[in-house]
Amino acid sequence: MKPEVIIVGGGITGLSAARLLSRKGVPFLLLESEAVLGGRIQSENHDGFILDKGFQILNTAYPEWANHDINLNALSLKSFASGAKIFQNGKVHTLADPLREGPVAFQALFSKSVSIKDMLLILKLRSKLNKQNNTEVFGMKKETTLHFLQQFGFSQAFINAFFKPFYAGIFLESELKTPVSMFSFVFKAFADGTAALPANGMQQFIKLISSELNDENIHLSAKVTGVQSGSVTIEGGSVVSAPHIWVTTGTQSFQGLQRKEWKGNHNTSVLYFSADIAPKWGKFIGLNANEGGLVNHFCMPSAVQPGYSPEGKHLISSSLRPGLAYQAGMENLVVDELKKMNAIQHPIAFLKAISVPLALPELDSMRFEPELIQLQEGVIATGDFAAYPSANAAMHAGRLLLETL
Ligand SMILES: Cc1cc2nc3c(=O)[nH]c(=O)nc-3n(C[C@H](O)[C@H](O)[C@H](O)COP(=O)(O)OP(=O)(O)OC[C@H]3O[C@@H](n4cnc5c(N)ncnc54)[C@H](O)[C@@H]3O)c2cc1C
């Protein structure tokens, strides 16, 4: 059947649009340049370990789950602990949500970097953001996260020990220059929901979202080299026509996608290790609150989802400080650092490092509702780069595309 819509790109934006088209019975063709679907969300099997392409989580409070009628039970999500272990000067302190983790939450007060005032400010911030919806959050005054936190009254010691490494793991930049709207969206999502992993790795989310699609509507290894009103050109020269063309490739691929808010991309590298004896931090994310060093944060995906490692083994993931890209030999330095921090007491064996060069778009201003960018008559582009860097924005963008039909 002649397609009504051609979707260029098979990441979350393209796939969520395809799923909605398929449910409506609209004929479409999805063209993906890689041999697999998923875009920036991928997992690989490495000797029985599941390695996600970069440290990624799904937040159970994302509004788009409901908007897309996605059954999260199908992912068998399990959650990280609500909080973090702060590793500083050879000591470790737990900072957690008292409502969910109980008395351990207050243990951070024994750390020099966490004062009662900082803890009370966290509660005040939570209550302030609770009263705002996401549209209001993205309408906040344009300022950096760092400026906002300082003005809110948090101590610099607390910002350095908690906010910087924790949000560097999400923003993929450690100066907290990301707009406060993104910070507030993520803070709210952590307060309302939990950070979770699917049973079989992040790739399971891609499998779920593409499970209703017909293989004949999807062409893999089909790189689109040109888009024009009414048709696209695929590498090799073939041309496919449709009245509607939706470009969901991210910022790089086509002219007109590099908007003024887009400043480049953040990269990330994650190193995976196997352990015979599980470290003590369990389901908590560990933060390196020391100055300098290679490690930003670390966690144990197999403590959250046992399927991430083979029986009797544990999977440790350690992300490098933003801006650092993995180079051969760094794994030894990372192990030394984890030992020095007192994060590991037993040997761990290096499995693999994964670097993601174009992980997140760097945007100096963000919006909740993804922009639909009209490239030409009938050609619309959108994605997380047209809103804010999150799978929620990508799903939202996919949904908005349907409204243009
Ligand atoms: C390391 C990392 C950690 C992250 N952590 C989180 C997290 O914890 N929580 C969260 O919500 N989000 C997270 N994100 C962000 C989230 O993954 C993205 O927002 C989302 O996957 C973007 O989806 P997309 O479809 O818009 O773009 P992409 O996934 O980039 O998809 C674009 C697709 O287009 C294809 N393509 C490109 N050019 C062409 C062409 N010329 N022809 C055909 N196809 C083409 C690409 O191959 C790709 O498949 C993270 C991302 C990374 C990389």
**CB of 209 within 8 A of CB of 20?**
no
- Tens of pLDDT, residues 304-322: 999 999 999 999 999 999 9
Atom index in ligand 1 nearest the CA of residue 14 equals 25
Measuring from atom 20 of ligand 1, which residue has the nearest CA?
391
Q: How many residues does the chain have?
A: 405
pLDDT score, position 383: 96
Query: What's the whole-model pTM score?
Result: 0.96
**What is the side-by-side strand order in the sheet with 91-96?**
91-96, 83-88, 285-288, 295-299, 314-320, 262-275, 348-363
What are residue 48's phi and psi, to 5 degrees?
A: 90, -5
- Both tokens of 47, joined, read 């000797």
Ligand 1 neighbour 394 (Cβ under 6 A): yes
Task: Identify which of 220, 233, 231 has the alpha carbon closest to the alpha carbon of residue 3.
Answer: 231
pLDDT tens, residue by residue, 120-163: 899 899 999 999 999 999 998 899 999 999 999 999 999 999 99
Pocket test for ligand 1, best of 37, 56, 173, 254 (most atoms within 8 A of CB): 56
What is the reported pLDDT for 140?
Answer: 86
Ligand 1 geometric centre to CA of 42 (Å)? 9
pLDDT > 70? residue 213: yes
pLDDT digit string, tens, across residues 343-396:
999 999 999 999 999 999 999 999 999 999 999 999 999 999 999 999 999 999
Residue 49 CB coordination number (10 Å) = 22
Q: Would you state the pLDDT for residue 372? A: 96
Question: Cα separation of 141 and 208, whole Å?
Answer: 37
Q: Is the pLDDT of residue 119 over 90?
A: no
What φ, ψ does residue 94 adopt, rounded to 5°? -95, 130
pLDDT digits (tens, 9 = 90+) for 67-81: 999 999 999 999 999
Average pLDDT score over residue span 235-245: 96
Q: What is the mean pLDDT of residues 188-199?
A: 94
Record the tokens describing residue 270, joined without a space.
């994650």
Residue 327, classified by CB atoms within 10 Å of its CB into exposed (0-12), middle (13-18) or buried (19+), is exposed
pLDDT recorded at residue 252:
76
Angle between helices 180-192 and 164-171 (to 10 degrees): 100
The two structure tokens encoding residue 223: 């790189």
Q: Which pLDDT tens digit goes with each residue over 257-288?
A: 778 888 999 999 999 999 999 999 999 999 99
pLDDT score recorded for residue 83: 87
Strands 239-241 and 231-234: antiparallel
First to last CA, the chain: 18
Using a 6 Å cutoff on CB, does residue 398 contact ligand 1?
A: no
CA–CA gap between residue 114 and residue 109 (Å, rounded): 5
Check residue 1 and give its pLDDT: 73
Residue 286: predicted pLDDT: 97
Whether 160 and 123 have beta carbons less than 8 Å apart is answered as no
In terms of pLDDT, which residue wins out, 258 or 28?
28
Q: Ligand 1 within 6 A of 54 CB?
A: yes
The span from the CA of 304 to the CA of 308, in Å, is 9
Residue 253 has pLDDT above 90, yes or no: no
pLDDT at 232 over 90: yes
Residue 166 has pLDDT above 80, yes or no: yes
Centre of ligand 1 to C-alpha 84, Å, is: 26
pLDDT value at position 110? 67
Q: Is the per-residue pLDDT at 255 higher than 80?
A: no
pLDDT computed for residue 341 by the predictor:
94
Residue having the nearest C-alpha atom to atom 6 of ligand 1? 56
Tell the burial category of 32 from Cβ atoms under 10 Å away from its Cβ (0-12, 13-18, 19+).
buried
Residue 102: the pLDDT is: 65
Distance (Å, rounded) from C-alpha 146 to C-alpha 156? 10
Which pLDDT tens digit goes with each residue over 286-296? Answer: 999 999 899 99
218 lines ligand 1 (CB under 6 A): no
In short, whether 94's Cβ falls inside 6 Å of ligand 1 is no
> Stretch 83-108: mean pLDDT, rounded?
79
Which of 20, 247, 249, 270 to mutate for ligand 1's pocket (most ligand atoms within 8 Å of CB)?
249
Band of pLDDT at residue 112, cut at 50, 70 and 90: confident
Residue 172 DSSP label: S
Q: What percent of the chain has pLDDT over 70?
A: 97
